[in-house]
């Protein structure tokens, strides 16, 4: 029996197929390298630009820092948009994490540029480690003289007397302004009044103080805040990938000038609130479940224990209101209960002093011309009521929207961003770092218009005192948010009409064929 002759073309075909596969693999690897190099190049440019800005900003407020920061905004927006072109690289979470980490480095090389709040954080942490409630005594109180160091108190030592003992917070605005003034002997702001920060923030200060030597000053808090910002960036990338969206959109957070300025440099505790809110949204967006109804509320309660404002975000965590009211109250009840539980130990120790400087802060804010946009339209006496109505209406709209949409990460984040963002637009605070959690929610929601609020807050803070600038910044941000909402609503209606028309055409064609 003769053997069939070998087919000479079989090996050629195999070789050809191997060459094609090899060429495709090489091309793919080259494409991956290009995408990673694009991110690396953009991260290097952002880092260099941020280093230049941080080096040139010798005073935290005024025209110069404002112009530099706005230029940084323009550069970052352009570079982030450029990086997002094309498909996402492999190991994208690692890429995002590294890109988020490297841009934090210039901020760590400088003391806080725009605010002295971090020095108060350091002091509050040290006081707690000494077994004293931060709500009981003001920093200049001579009863705490033994805790002073040359970093926080360059003008007065532990053996010297300041001549001050803590007194109740004044209710008169003139007396309050005199009491809240800074003192050249210390870097801590408002050194004659006790702290204003809620208990979870105080726990963060104590935890960082426990591992930071006094000689490091604010560096421990700056490093901790930078690590939180990087962690939020990676979490955002993971959540975006889980939702089927491009994980690189997390770079909108990581490279945001507000985040760079107020986390690794400013060390503002708002980044901790943002991290807790992202975790709450992540748990809510995973679907139904008994534990998942309560846990997001607990996380929002902890975020409110950092800054009280995030408590409004709980409105977006109640999407099950569409059928039964009780499950919809799980998250709000958990949030309020958690916030109360964080205050309980401090109330047991300090009693009503646990309010700290909060009453004075609210009086101070009311005197500073808040709600700038509403003041253009209404008499001064009506502004507080109008502000409350606007915030309540936005919260109800967030609840209604969350109840009508499927429970997804984007829908929950959209409701949270709406509640949080409208509150800032209605109250127009002049502290840009208040918008740090909003930036994270906006990235998850895919609602870039809320970045206008972040820009407005920074403009209002850095340009405070320039006539019309604060009001103009907030009016512009309001217009951007409203315009984006109207355009999105129009696009949604147009898509619905096209879908209905297509369905009607298909139905008519089927009937004719039959």
Check pLDDT > 90 for residue 478. yes
User: Is 314 within 8 Å of 273 (Cβ atoms)?
Assistant: no
**What is the chain's mean pLDDT, rounded?**
85
User: Is 453 within 8 Å of 424 (Cβ atoms)?
Assistant: yes
Check pLDDT > 80 for residue 504. no
Check pLDDT > 90 for residue 433. yes
pLDDT confidence of residue 324: 55
Q: Encoding tokens for residue 90?
A: 């492999």
Compare 392 and 26 and report the one with higher pLDDT: 392
Check pLDDT > 60 for residue 268. yes
Check pLDDT > 50 for residue 278. yes
Tens digit of each residue's pLDDT (9 = 90 or more) over 233-266: 999 999 999 999 999 999 999 999 999 999 999 9
What average pLDDT score do residues 88-92 get?
82
Cα 195 from chain centroid (whole Å) = 22
pLDDT confidence of residue 24: 46
Q: How far is CA 401 from CA 187, 290, 415, 440, 481, in A?
A: 46, 22, 7, 20, 17
Q: Please classify residue 57 by burial: count the beta carbons closer than 10 Å to its beta carbon, then call 0-12 exposed, 13-18 middle and 19+ buried.
A: buried
Tens digit of each residue's pLDDT (9 = 90 or more) over 2-16: 454 444 434 444 445
Tens digit of each residue's pLDDT (9 = 90 or more) over 402-415: 667 777 888 889 98
pTM of the predicted protein model:
0.89
Range among 85-99, 206-220, 479-493 rated most confident: 206-220
How would residue 1 be classed by pLDDT, with cut points 50, 70 and 90? Answer: very low
What average pLDDT score do residues 307-323 get?
70
What average pLDDT score do residues 312-328 get?
61
Tens digit of each residue's pLDDT (9 = 90 or more) over 294-311: 888 899 999 999 999 998
């Amino acid at each position: 029996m003769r053997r069939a002759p070998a087919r000479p073309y079989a090996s050629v075909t195999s070789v050809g197929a191997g060459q094609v596969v090899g060429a495709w693999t090489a091309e793919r690897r080259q494409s991956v390298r290009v995408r990673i190099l694009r991110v690396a190049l953009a991260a290097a440019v952002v880092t260099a630009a941020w280093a230049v800005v941080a080096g040139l900003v010798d005073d935290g407020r005024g025209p110069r820092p404002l112009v530099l920061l706005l230029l940084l905004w323009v550069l970052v927006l352009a570079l982030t948009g450029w990086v997002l072109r094309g498909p996402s690289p492999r190991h994208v979470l690692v890429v995002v994490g590294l890109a988020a980490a490297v841009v934090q480095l210039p901020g760590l090389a400088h003391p806080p540029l725009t605010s002295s709040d971090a020095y108060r954080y350091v002091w509050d942490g040290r006081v707690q480690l000494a077994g004293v409630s931060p709500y009981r005594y003001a920093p200049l109180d001579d009863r705490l003289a033994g805790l002073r160091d040359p970093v926080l108190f360059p003008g007065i030592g532990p053996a010297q007397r300041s001549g001050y003992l803590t007194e109740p917070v004044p209710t008169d605005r003139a007396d309050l302004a005199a009491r809240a003034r800074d003192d050249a002997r210390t870097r801590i702001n408002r050194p004659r009044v006790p702290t204003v920060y809620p208990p979870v923030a105080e726990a963060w200060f104590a935890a960082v103080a426990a591992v930071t030597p006094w000689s490091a000053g604010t560096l421990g808090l700056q490093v901790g805040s930078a690590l939180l910002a990087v962690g939020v960036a990676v979490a955002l990338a993971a959540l975006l990938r889980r939702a089927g969206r491009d994980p690189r959109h997390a770079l909108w957070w990581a490279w945001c000038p507000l985040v760079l300025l107020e986390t690794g440099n400013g060390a503002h505790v708002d980044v901790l609130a943002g991290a807790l809110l992202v975790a709450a949204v992540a748990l809510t967006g995973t679907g139904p479940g008994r534990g998942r109804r309560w846990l997001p509320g607990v996380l929002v309660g902890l975020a409110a224990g950092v800054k009280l404002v995030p408590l409004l975000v709980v409105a977006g965590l109640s999407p099950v209101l569409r059928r039964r009211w009780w499950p919809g109250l799980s998250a709000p009840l958990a949030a309020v209960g958690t916030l109360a539980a964080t205050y309980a130990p401090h109330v047991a120790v300090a009693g009503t002093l646990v309010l700290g400087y909060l009453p004075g802060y609210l009086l101070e804010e009311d005197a500073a011309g808040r709600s700038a946009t509403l003041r253009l339209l209404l008499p001064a006496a009506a502004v507080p009521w109008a502000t409350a109505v606007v915030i309540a209406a936005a919260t109800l709209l967030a609840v209604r929207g969350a109840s009508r949409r499927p429970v997804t990460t984007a829908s929950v984040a959209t409701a949270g961003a709406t509640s949080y963002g409208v509150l800032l637009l209605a109250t127009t605070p002049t502290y840009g770092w208040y918008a740090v959690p909003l930036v994270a929610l906006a990235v998850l929601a895919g609602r870039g218009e809320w970045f206008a609020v972040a820009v407005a807050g920074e403009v209002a803070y850095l340009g405070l005192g320039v006539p019309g600038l604060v009001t103009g910044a907030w009016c512009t941000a309001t217009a951007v948010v409203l315009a984006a909402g109207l355009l999105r609503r129009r696009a949604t209606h147009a898509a619905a009409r096209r879908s209905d028309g297509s369905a009607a055409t298909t139905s008519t064609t089927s009937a004719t064929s039959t």
